[in-house]
Amino acid sequence: MTPRTLPVVRATASVGPAPLRAADEPGSAVGPLPVAAGPGRHELDDRPHDECGVVGISGMENAAQQAFLAMYALQHRGQEAGGIVAFDGSEGRVHRGTGLVSEIFGPDTIAGLKGHTAVGHVRYSTAGGGNLANVQPITARYARGDLALAHNGNLTNQLDLRHRLVEDGAIFRSTSDSETLVHLIAKSREPTVDAQVLDALAHLEGAFSLVLAVDETLYAARDSRGFRPLVLGRKGSGHVIVSETCALDILGAEYVRDIEPGEVIRVRGARVDHLGSLPPVDRPSPCIFELVYFARPDSRLWGVSVDRARRAFGRRLAREHAVEADAVMAVPDSANSAALGYSEESGIPFELGLLRNHYVGRTFIKPDQKDRDFGARMKYNPVREVLDGKRIVVVDDSLVRGTTSRSLVRMLRQAGAREVHLRIGSPPVRFPCFYGIDMPTKGELIGSRMEIPQIAETLGVDSLGYLSLEGMVDAVAEAGPYCTACFSGDYPAPLVDVERGFLSAEGPSTGR
């Protein structure tokens, strides 16, 4: 498919994203449009999801190709859709689609995205994975030029802002909270693009790590609490902005530094300028769930090795919940490091008791209602020789609904495990997230509905042990304090949309 140029939108009060095709009709209602969740979604996946990863490239030949490679490294942050916008000095060109990065972009597509500046985005949607109107980067042509925006996080006042903007005549084409920022920039009365960006960001509450391009000028910003990661790298005379350091590695780029909480920078090729700072808060609150589960273990977040953090969780877990067993195994792949830490501390050998199928992808096969373990068997298979007759410690990073864990325990027992002791490398997840994690509503969280002994009985394990909140925070204290809202219910940023009745306190059910 040939990349398309950005549409012209003349009225700065009603800037919207580029429609992907005529069938993507705009909507102007406050709040999310009704969309259907993809079939087989929760049957096959019981994990929380980070909603996206962002990429910005400036001052490089074939910037779109560099963005593609970085998005490939960030694929774990979003597997349902992606897009790249490239700028060549005269116009912006965009290509977006659903699926994995390798499915969306081919050699011809990348070749058509010419320019030295690019913005990229990988997305996991909380609902309506096929809704192309929400696929980022969001694009528009406003009074100052072509604009592209890629955003990681959730704004906690976006419905309130959307309501005000709609009342003032704005027309929204998507249900994404990210589009709110485009309208705020377009409506700002400040005299320069730099000032308009700063003015717009000052209206936002909640979590945002974002990359924004206006023609060939790149901007990057993090909210003042620093919920989501964002790092700056250098390659030759150009610069790279990405969600995680693992994306720098695939490009052969040098890590320069983290974008600081509340910092706004402007990048043009070899030049990086500090544009300004957002209003300060009492303390930064980086999301500790990034270290527990989301980030790749080969990344460094906030100066902390993700692999070493998870091993520290596992070692602390072994001290808090020791048990006699013959082998320690992980629920692959995100719990591998924590399981190694548990093994190192306990002295119990680490074994590969479960293998993960990495080629499941998205499926539209609906299991028979009687087949309770369909989703787990699609993703995992036990190694009988490791399990038969053994007492097994199974380490997982988190427990959300509990449906997959229940199926896994049955699989392990059917493979011959004599005892199954489940250890979780984080505390019980009891509260919904409003800052960029696709987390079930409070009523769906097993940790909210049940006490630990009841959870153990429901899962069918011989014992269940969670890492304590204090133990988790102490294990990585060097980069704290953290946001622990999904474990503790302590929300550091105001939940404006909840307070004003736009959103249920049970948790957001839709997003970008």
Q: Which of 26-35, 239-248, 285-294, 429-438 has the lowest mean pLDDT?
A: 26-35
Instruction: Please report, rounded to a whole number, the percentage of residues in the chain having pLDDT higher than 70.
Output: 85
The domain limits of the chain are 48-285, 306-357+368-482
pLDDT for the residue 49: 54
The pLDDT tens digits of the residues spanning 67-97 come to: 999 999 999 999 889 999 999 988 899 999 9
Q: Which fold does the domain 48-285 belong to in CATH?
A: Glutamine Phosphoribosylpyrophosphate, subunit 1, domain 1 (3.60.20)
**Joined tokens for residue 63:** 């910037």
* Catalytic positions: 52
Mean pLDDT check: name the lowest of 5-19, 35-49, 101-115.
5-19
CA distance 212 to 337: 34
Print burial letters for 366-404: b (CB count within 10 Å at least 16), e (below 16).
ebeeeeebbbbebbbebeeebbeebbbbbbbbbbbbbbb
C-beta neighbour count of 451 within 10 angstroms: 9
Q: Are 48 and 289 in contact (CB under 8 A)?
A: yes
Look at residue 25 and tell me whether its pLDDT is greater than 60. no
Query: How confident is the model over 390-402, as a mean pLDDT?
Result: 96
Mean pLDDT score, 118-134: 72
- What's residue 4's pLDDT? 60
Q: What is the pLDDT of residues 156-205, one digit of tens each?
A: 999 999 999 999 988 898 888 889 999 999 999 999 999 999 999 999 99
Whether the pLDDT of residue 411 is over 80: the answer is: yes
Burial 199-211 (b: 16+ CB within 10 A, else e): ebbeebbbbbbbb
Closest CA to 29 of 155, 185, 133, 144: 133
Residue 340: predicted pLDDT: 98
- H helices of 48-106, in order, are 63-73, 101-104
Give the separation between CA 228 and CA 393, rounded to whole angstroms.
32
pLDDT tens, residue by residue, 295-351:
999 999 999 999 999 999 999 999 999 999 999 999 999 999 999 999 999 999 999
**398 and 469 in contact (C-beta within 8 Å)?**
no
Rounded to 10 deg, the angle between the 193-201 and 178-187 helix axes is: 130
**Do residues 355 and 333 make contact, with C-beta atoms less than 8 angstroms apart?**
no
Mean pLDDT rounded to a whole number for the chain: 87
Q: Examine the pLDDT at 129 and tell me if it is beyond 80.
A: no
For the domain spanning 306-357+368-482, the CATH number is 3.40.50.2020
- pLDDT tier at 223, thresholds 50, 70, 90: very high
